[in-house]
Structure 1
Amino acid sequence: MRLSAVLLSTLALVAGAPSAGAESHRAAPFVEAALPGHVCFWPEADEMGAGGGWCYSGTGYAEAAPHVKRHAKSFNNQTQDTFYAIHFPRDGGCLYRTVYGGDYSAYWEWWDKLDGIQRVRPTDCLPG
């Protein structure tokens, strides 16, 4: 019985089910493969790496999980939606990179810049 509860809890997390007090975004950390309906990031090339992938599908801004923040070497967008990866340089301001629907990169050139992601193009950031 206890194992079943843990398994169901894990499946709900991976499926991106909102928990009590969930914000306007959904994140499903630690996945092995890209989830349909999500854009996912991995800490190493070719959708690999310790901790697995971190996925997002939502409407608000989401801070990247610690294991992919400024270390997202690959990504896969399993949606037809456009998302915006956000970077906050140490000297201030912000930059964004467009992640188009159906797009992926086995070795992302912006790998050391991902701080967060959102669905709406940020008007106060510059293209990066």
Structure 2
Amino acid sequence: MRRTITTIAATAAFAAALTFSAPTAQATPPGRICFWTEPGMMGQSWCYGPPGYAEAENGTQRHAYSFESRYNGTVYAISYGAGSSCLYREIRADDYDENWTAWAGKLDGVSHETMGCEPG
């Protein structure tokens, strides 16, 4: 009887822990910059590793609501406008934003250089 009560209590505690634990965000690997589709580094993610330019993928293009940089240098978020116009946003080493509303709807890609774009 005592063993049954202990087993039931342990099972109930485990089930409660599963119910109340929030989903965890994917960790950003060293040397990369990761972007997520939701605030708090949640949702779909895409990671960039310099050098070069890469288009944002996995739902993050024009929908990147958080980011984290674990790259030991500077990269640039790029946003293309009408015609040949474009803007960049500098992302420094260890930079992050859990609610990146200023650029959430702008991110088109990332580069290790400004690509001739204007600051924005």
TM category, shorter: 0.7 to 0.9
Tell me the distance in 1 between the aligned counterparts of 2:37 and 2:26: 12
**Contact 2:87 2:117 survives alignment (8 Å):** yes
Tell me the distance in 1 between the aligned counterparts of 2:85 and 2:91: 20
Aligned to 2:12: none
Residue 36 in 1 paired to residue 41 in 2?
Answer: no
Shift >4 Å, 4+ stretches: none
Tell me the distance in 2 between the aligned counterparts of 1:105 and 1:63: 20
Q: How many residue pairs get matched? A: 95
**Contact 1:95 1:127 survives alignment (8 Å):** yes
Q: What aligned pairs does 1:57-76 form with structure 2 within 5 A after superposition?
A: 57-76=49-68
Identity %: 43
Unmatched tracts of structure 2, length 5 or more:
1-24
Deviation, 1:33, is 2.1
More strand per residue? 2
**Contact 1:33 1:47 survives alignment (8 Å):** no
TM-score normalized by the length of structure 2: 0.74
Call closer, same or farther: CA 1:70–1:41 in 2, change over 3 Å. Answer: same
Unmatched tracts of structure 1, length 5 or more:
1-30
RMSD: 1.5
Q: Which structure has the larger Rg?
A: 2
Tell me the distance in 2 between the aligned counterparts of 1:86 and 1:64: 10
Alignment match of 1:48 (pick from 42, 58, 68): 42
1:33-85 deviations in Å (ceiling 9; x for gaps): 21111000000001001xx3100112111000040000000000012210000
